[in-house]
Amino acid sequence: MRKYKITTKLRDGIKDIEGETIEQKLNQDEWSVKNIKVGQVFYLEADGTSTFVRDLCEQILVNTLLYDFEIEDVDE
């Protein structure tokens, strides 16, 4: 089995309400931060190629209308 890391982020042009809310809260508490983006990370093990994992992402794990994703092989 191979280990994979899938990282998602909102596509360009999609408003990141959660990121904006976190940024506002941090700046209220006097932390100086900008451009917080919220995404997800999935770690999984799978028998199959990165093409199999890409299909899994596109069909089940990631809403590709809203999110871009990146797949990495993880060697541990």
CATH code where residue 10 lies: 3.30.1280.10
pTM of the model: 0.83
| pLDDT of 48 over the 90 cut | no
Element (H, E) at 4: strand 2-10
Q: What is the spatial distance between Cα 19 and Cα 51, in angstroms, rounded to a whole number?
A: 31
Sign of CA dihedral 18, 20, 21, 27: positive
Q: Which DSSP letter does residue 65 get?
A: T
Q: Total structural domains in the chain?
A: 1
> pLDDT for 18-45, tens place per residue?
999 999 999 998 888 999 999 999 999 9
C-alpha to C-alpha distance for 38 and 59, rounded to whole angstroms: 21
* Torsion sign (Cα): 23, 24, 26, 32: positive
Domain encompassing residue 41: 2-74
